[in-house]
Structure 1
């Protein structure tokens, strides 16, 4: 009789536990949480120093306080929300410095888009100020369609609506110019 009571209680507890187990429902993750994770960068770096080379020769050094890596996207890119300092080194070792408040680098095209207070100081002391500048790493070319101002070492000033130049700034093609030239007699 004692064994019958134990089996009855055990059967009751088992039936109760099975009922509780099957009555529980799982909660699904909201879809907006998943999309937020997909939009997040796969990596974040702080105080970064990137070096660019061409055939073993150092051609540029890019430093930034913060980089967000979105190379997991279909058209992968790296974002520099706190700006960059780009040192472009020519074949003779002369350095031109480009700074901006924001930049984005597209992996597939090799294009870096710099925006906000773009300031360029070339190796020969030419100083250019622009709102936006593109650097094409594949062909070593910089360009903009935005207005810019340049001050040359001889005191000449040029204002224009865009330019393109090699990354050494030894070739500079400017469009729609207005400026002051210094001419010695």
Structure 2
């Protein structure tokens, strides 16, 4: 499945256009007073090539770990992340952007799904995510996040992934309980 690469390609295209045309001043971040559609563009907007590169290196592997569970799980994470961006967009005093919210959503999903389902594949995915990316968890805490990094975007993304895991697990239980 090429979907993670296509989504990443959109982010790279937008960043390159921003650097070439907007001289780095054009941004599609969400924040106070921005249009509603920035909820959908914010993950693809970055604060420079370095920001996008670091997000890219984590986004692709985490995406594929979730896609092992299926496209519906991946879509659920994206929906959860975008839905939980809404309060930040409406209420938070500063803007937020980048794939890191989605990255934390993917991580939140992967960490919880094993515990919820207690199946070998789900447990293996949770353990793999914890071992490879557990060191990113302090990024959820404001006092451990570097200045200029949106810890609230990370936290809302993580919560979106948790909501997605709960929804996917619930759906899985319902469909396996049907005669």
The reply to whether TM is greater than 0.5 is no
Q: Quick check: which has more Rg, 1 or 2?
A: 1
Q: TM-score, normalised by structure 1?
A: 0.23
**Which one has the bigger helix percentage?**
2
* Larger RCO: 1 or 2 (CA < 8 Å, sep 6+): 2
